[in-house]
Amino acid sequence: MANSLLTDASRRLDRALQYVSISEDTAERLKSPKASLKVSIPVRMDDGSLRVFEGYRVHFDDTRGPTKGGIRFHPQVNLDEVQSLAFWMTFKCAALNLPFGGAKGGVTLNPKELSKAELERLSRGYIDAIANFIGPDTDIPAPDVYTNPMIMGWMMDQYSIIRQQRSPAVITGKPVALGGSLGRSTATGTGAFYVLEAMMAHLLGQPSDQANKPAQTVAVQGFGNAGSVVARLLFDAGYAVVAVSDSHGGIYTPQGLDIPSIQQFKADTRAVQAVYCDGTVCSLVDHKVITNEELLQLEVDILIPAALENQITAANADAIRARYIFEVANGPISADADDILDAKGITVFPDILVNAGGVTVSYFEWVQNRSGLYWTLEEVNQRLKQQMVTAAETIWQIAQTHQTSMRTAAYVQALTSLGAAMDARGTRADYVGEKG
């Protein structure tokens, strides 16, 4: 479809192609996914009824290694969305120089409507349906929106039952007790923080230069796993996190929120409230209740969309007033909105760089599972910081060299890696004139 998410995602390549030369073979292979699977998952519900859910798994490209990508449980999951996310994963892994291709999966449902037992039956049923499509050397799923370590543990266990052998490397993001990596559950937010700190040093000068300047203000849309982690790290580092939100709406105070208290309150009540907690006692503080749309339009230094895709589009991009945007969600800004934000002088740091901490530590988990040697949290975070900062600095230099956006620079980096891997298998130039 002409206005599909995948079409919109692919438009980003056109700008990058101005700065990198790739073969016809590479361009042709990146036009469409390698394989797409749609399955039906029958689940016996707690009341005895039977419901059938639609599930998907897409391999976009596996030139650089087995495909890698999360599984999301969400009412909006469809084939176009999953293909788009697999496309982004392909470029994310290439931009971070991880030995993976891109994949994604999902099931169309509202997981909040299912009991834990129903979720387990659904998760195991999904693996039953896609077992021949995944594997430690083929395609390695991970958690995504509304999936978590427990669900990944069920999925790994079901795959192991099917294969009649323990297979921890087939799924990442598992509980640590089942072979998961320390630091994986917080990796997306932690990796985003490392990128943000490295890039703000370029934008504002070294931290020592900022001693007498006011704290940078931050708004975080999406106070979930990734958003809450990066918000906490920024709070601890001295940033003024003035607004956060979840799917129900947001809270704002120009003086800055107490993020540890909000995290504690949400863990206890599942609600986001502007509170200050002293031990187990939490008290409300002055704040303004805002919508997610209003949060995006706040006048802040740093905006962090950490919810779902297409939150900033041509319809609202002109109202965005942040100076810098760090995309912690996948695809939160449409291609049309990119042009508007650029014209306004807003610097966008793209998802395929900023939120790559999750897949990076998933790679670490896969390596640990296959080697049987497990790392400390300090080792994981040290390796994560090195990987994220190295990629960020490389992409920053590409952007400066070509005087282009960070998004285009990230795609240039990814296309260079993908092109080299694809061309190594032979291109038209290698075969023309070979006869005789």
Q: Of 29, 19, 101, which is closest to residue 426 (Cα–Cα)?
A: 29
Residue 210 pLDDT level (bands cut at 50, 70, 90): low
Residue 287 pLDDT level (bands cut at 50, 70, 90): confident
Separation CA 42–CA 124 (nearest Å): 11
Q: What is the pLDDT of residue 1?
A: 36
Angle between helix axes 5-16 and 406-423 (nearest 10 degrees) is 90
Q: What is the pLDDT of residue 275?
A: 72
pTM over 0.85: yes
What CATH number does the domain located at 187-354 have? 3.40.50.720
**Residue 280 predicted with pLDDT over 80:** no
Q: Is the dihedral of CA 419, 420, 423, 425 positive or negative?
A: negative
**Residue 203 predicted with pLDDT over 70:** yes
Separation CA 64–CA 216 (nearest Å): 39
**Residue 413 predicted with pLDDT over 60:** yes
Q: What is the pLDDT of residue 122?
A: 98
One-letter amino acid of 348: V
Share of the chain above pLDDT 90, in %: 74
The active-site residue, picked from 68, 92, 104, 174, is: 104
Q: What is the DSSP string of 168-227?
A: GGG-SS--GGGTPPTTSTTHHHHHHHHHHHHHHHHHH--GGGGTTSPPPEEEEE--SHHH
β-partners of residue 101 are: 67
Q: What is the pLDDT of residue 434?
A: 55
Mean pLDDT confidence for 364-368: 98
Cβ distance 296 to 316 under 8 Å?
A: yes
Residue 323 pLDDT level (bands cut at 50, 70, 90): very high
Structure-token pair, residue 427: 């291109």
Structure-token pair, residue 428: 């038209």
pLDDT digits (tens, 9 = 90+) for 85-118: 899 899 999 999 999 999 999 999 999 999 999 9
Annotated domain spans of the chain:
35-171, 187-354
Q: What is the pLDDT of residue 96?
A: 95
Higher pLDDT among residues 358 and 309, named by residue = 358
Q: What is the pLDDT of residue 32?
A: 87
Separation CA 248–CA 292 (nearest Å): 8
Q: What is the DSSP letter of 135?
A: B
Q: What is the pLDDT of residue 435?
A: 52
Residue 208 pLDDT level (bands cut at 50, 70, 90): very low
**Residue 285 predicted with pLDDT over 80:** no
Q: What is the DSSP string of 80-105?
A: HHHHHHHHHHHHHHHHTT-S-EEEEE
pLDDT digits (tens, 9 = 90+) for 107-116: 999 999 999 9
Mean pLDDT confidence for 423-432: 77
Q: What is the pLDDT of residue 384?
A: 98
For the ranges 96-100, 309-313, 420-424, the one whose mean pLDDT is highest: 96-100
Catalytic residue status for 104:
yes
**Residue 281 predicted with pLDDT over 50:** yes
Q: What is the pLDDT of residue 433?
A: 59
β-partners of residue 244 are: 220, 251
Separation CA 429–CA 46 (nearest Å): 60
Round the average pLDDT of the chain to a whole number and report it.
Answer: 91
Q: For the CA atoms of the chain, what is the radius of gyration?
A: 22
Residue 70 pLDDT level (bands cut at 50, 70, 90): very high
**Residue 261 predicted with pLDDT over 80:** yes
Cβ distance 234 to 257 under 8 Å?
A: no
Q: What is the pLDDT of residue 215?
A: 85
- Of 2.40.160.40, 3.40.50.720, 3.20.20.70, 3.40.50.10860, the CATH number of 35-171 is 3.40.50.10860
pLDDT digits (tens, 9 = 90+) for 228-260: 999 999 999 999 999 999 888 899 999 999 999
Domains 35-171 and 187-354 share a fold: yes
Would you say how long the chain is, in residues?
A: 436
For the ranges 161-175, 253-267, 328-342, the one whose mean pLDDT is highest: 161-175
Mean pLDDT confidence for 376-399: 97
Q: What is the DSSP string of 325-381?
A: EE--SSS-B-HHHHHHHHHTT-EEE-HHHHTTHHHHHHHHHHHHHHH-----HHHHH
